[in-house]
Amino acid sequence: MNDTFLKACRGESVPYTPVWLMRQAGRYLRQYQKIRKKVDFLTLCKTPELAAEVTIQPIEALGVDAAILFSDILIPVEAMGMALRFYEKRGPVFKNPVRRRQDVERLLIPEPEEALSFVMDTIRLLRRELKVPLIGFSGAPFTLATYMIEGGTSKNFLLTKRMIFESPEVYRSLMEKITETVTRYLKAQISAGAQAVQLFDTWAGVLSPHDYREYALPYVKSVIGAIKSIASGVPVIYFVGQCAGLLEEIRGCGADVIGVDWRINLDDAIKRLGRRFAVQGNLDPCALFLPPAEIEGRIRDILRRASSSRGHIFNLGHGVLPETPVENVVAMVEMVHRLSSRT
């Protein structure tokens, strides 16, 4: 197996900088589009054979150094008892959002091997097929809470922040249930065969440093601490969208790798995080629309800035956009491997 990704997560010497991409399986690939014409998104997530096939597609098409399980961060939330629908232009929608104490009380803490068995079956299928490491994942507690409270995506997260400030006990009860659900979910993924896990805190960047430290970070620390207590050798990656204002607080999360978006230079992030973390990132997803020569220039700059890190996994600062030219993604992976070669 190609274990370059896992070595980089641990800060070990590697022959080149490994690369994988958030949302590397998805709509920009024709192979994916072909399958999606036959099934809706949730059915795809819940059918192990299809989810495994979609997970493998970019490994073969792009030559990346790790696979990430094809699923969605809201899958465990649905298992908590919330009615989830995906709409093409609106994205995810919960018709029964959490707004009151009674809403929190009705939520379940699902047993993953029962309520989410299709995810574990997908992981087991993939481990038999893959020749690169498999990354499992979950949304982080705060990010999942925003979807549950807002009823979907949001521009200003008003309902979430009002709950935090006006009903702190309700918010705390909700976060405790989400945290336990995420902890069990990631432990089950690791038991099924995931070799690394990533926590996506996509919306934590909407919080001030004080509020992040008070209302998001403790729950992240709880999840990561629980994982480390049973699987200390499994790397944990923590990604925060719009992380630049929170890096000093993020240092306390307990992860092995910090994902960095494109809104900060990687060397600046490394200085503020310290050298005990490996870093992941941080090309702007829209940079993949540049001509190849300019993409190469961006890659050279990121690799140079990452040279002071404990370890570096090349990635985008967020997910691959559906309109991205596949040939530019293939070229990017080749460039990262070639430009970072140490042999």
- DSSP string computed for 137-197: EEE-HHHHHHHHHHSB--SS-HHHHHHHHH-HHHHHHHHHHHHHHHHHHHHHHHHHT-SEE
pTM of structure:
0.97
CA–CA dist 329, 159 (Å, integer): 37
CB 193 within 8 A of CB 134: yes
Is beta strand 134-139 parallel, antiparallel or unpaired with respect to 67-68? parallel
Give yes or no: 72 in active site. Answer: yes
What is the biggest distance separating any 2 CA atoms in the chain, rounded to whole angstroms?
A: 60
Fold of the 4-340 domain = TIM Barrel (3.20.20)
CA–CA dist 287, 313 (Å, integer): 18
Which residue, among 65, 18, 72, has the nearest Cα to 44 in the 3D structure? 72
Q: What is the pLDDT of residue 248?
A: 97
Q: Where are the domains of the chain?
A: 4-340
Q: What is the pLDDT of residue 89?
A: 73
Q: What is the pLDDT of residue 255?
A: 98
Q: pLDDT tens, position by position, for the chain (343 residues)?
A: 899 999 999 999 999 999 999 999 999 999 999 999 999 999 999 999 999 999 999 999 999 999 999 999 999 999 999 999 998 777 899 999 999 999 999 999 999 999 999 999 999 999 999 999 999 999 999 999 999 999 999 999 999 999 999 999 999 999 999 999 999 999 999 999 999 999 999 999 999 999 999 999 999 999 999 999 999 999 999 999 999 999 999 999 999 999 999 999 999 999 999 989 999 999 999 999 999 999 999 999 999 999 999 999 999 999 999 999 999 999 999 999 999 998 7
Q: Which of 27, 251, 298, 300 is catalytic?
A: 27
Q: Which of 3, 10, 72, 127 is catalytic?
A: 72
CA–CA dist 35, 40 (Å, integer): 9
Q: What is the pLDDT of residue 24?
A: 96
What is the phi-psi region of residue 258: left when phi exceeds 0, alpha when psi lies from -120 to 50, beta otherwise? beta
CB 15 within 8 A of CB 343: yes
Give yes or no: 36 in active site. Answer: yes
Q: Which of 36, 213, 251, 263 is catalytic?
A: 36
Is beta strand 67-68 parallel, antiparallel or unpaired with respect to 84-87? unpaired
Q: What is the pLDDT of residue 188?
A: 98
CA–CA dist 248, 269 (Å, integer): 10
CB 160 within 8 A of CB 150: yes
Is beta strand 84-87 parallel, antiparallel or unpaired with respect to 91-94? antiparallel
**For residue 14, which phi and psi values (nearest 5 degrees)?**
-130, 150
Q: What is the pLDDT of residue 342?
A: 86
Q: Name residue, tokens 């399986």.
A: 25
Which tokens is 167 given? Answer: 């009903």
CB 328 within 8 A of CB 288: yes
- Residues paired with residue 85 on neighbouring β-strands, in sequence order: 93
Q: Which of 16, 28, 32, 147 is catalytic?
A: 147
Give yes or no: 147 in active site. Answer: yes
